[in-house]
Structure formats: C-alpha cells, structure tokens
Amino acid sequence: MIKSEQASLSVMRIAVITLITIFMLSACVLSASVDVKNVKIVLSDNCEIEVLTTKSLVSDILEENHIVVLPEENVVPSLSSEIHDNDSTIVITGVTQDASAVLAVAEEEEMVLLDQLLSSYNAVVEKIITTEEEIPYETEKESDDATQVKQEGKTRSEKMYI
C-alpha cells in the first residue's frame, strides 16, 4: 500500500513538472511572436518622446501613451494609418503648421535635422508656483479634576508646489 502511494506521488510530481514546463514554453513562444516597435512621437510643443509599443495603429499608439490630439492639430501619418517599420516617427503639428511640409521633411529621415523639423512649432512656457501657508495647531486637553494641557501645539509652515 505504501509503495502505491509513493508511486502515485511520483506520478503527480512528474505531471506537475510537465505542466509547468509546458506553461513556461508557451509563454516564451508567445513573447517571441510579439512585434515590439520603437516609435518616436514629436509633439506640437517641441517635445519628443520615444516609446516601445506592440500597437501598430497610430491612434492606438497615441492613446496608449495618453496623448490627446486636439481638433485643430494634424497628425502625420494620419490617425487611421498603421506603423509597420521598427523605427517610425509620428509628428503632431499645430494649426499654423503645414502638415504636408512636415511630412516632406519627415520622409527625408536621414537628412533631416531636428531644427528643421521643429522650426515651426510654438514655444511652451512652464511655470512652477510656490506658496507658503501657515497650518494652525491643535492643543490636546485632558479633562480630569484639574484641566491639564497634554500637548501644546506649535504653528508650522508648509511649502506647497502647484
């Protein structure tokens, strides 16, 4: 009876090890079949972002990276286009920019200087505002026969960044 129990435990170990191996191999095969692309996104405010993505549709890539295209902005290539190359560029242009001119410059990938591509973008001003605010203190009191101050509070100052 004991030998049969040991044999069944041994068979169960083999089965568990086999299942784990099959799971690991299938995970490796799935990860090898995923096509990861390196995409450069040039925003209308001169920001340049490089992202790794498995998506191929331009709108999906922008959505995945939480980039909102305003109605007055143009996207080159268009939002419905698919990215097939590993190193691709998505350019978002503002209202005053000519999308066809940006596309012509972007198509000359090797000969394009960043200054040429970004020369027509509007500048963005970023400000950090610091405020200092006093936080009132609280005094804890204990009510016994005689009122005693348990802990005296102190006024403190705290900086806040907006």
Q: What is the mean pLDDT of residues 98-117?
A: 58
Residues 48, 100, single domain; the answer is: yes
User: Which comes out higher in pLDDT, residue 28 or 123?
Assistant: 28
Looking at residue 17, what is its pLDDT? 93
Q: Would residue 125 count as lying in a domain?
A: no
> How far apart (Å, rounded) are the C-alpha atoms in residues 59 and 91?
12
DSSP 14-42: HHHHHHHHHHHHHHHHHHHH---EEEEEE
Residues 30, 48, single domain; the answer is: no
Looking at residue 132, what is its pLDDT? 80
Looking at residue 119, what is its pLDDT? 65
Q: Which two tokens stand for residue 155?
A: 């006024």
Domain count, the chain: 3
Q: What is the pLDDT of residues 113-160, one digit of tens each?
A: 666 656 656 667 777 888 887 777 776 666 665 555 556 666 666 666
Residues 20, 83, single domain; the answer is: no
Domain that holds residue 151: 130-161
* Cut 0.85: pTM above it: no
Looking at residue 16, what is its pLDDT? 92
Residues 30, 42, single domain; the answer is: no
Q: Would residue 124 count as lying in a domain?
A: no
Query: Residue 51 in 3-state DSSP?
Result: strand
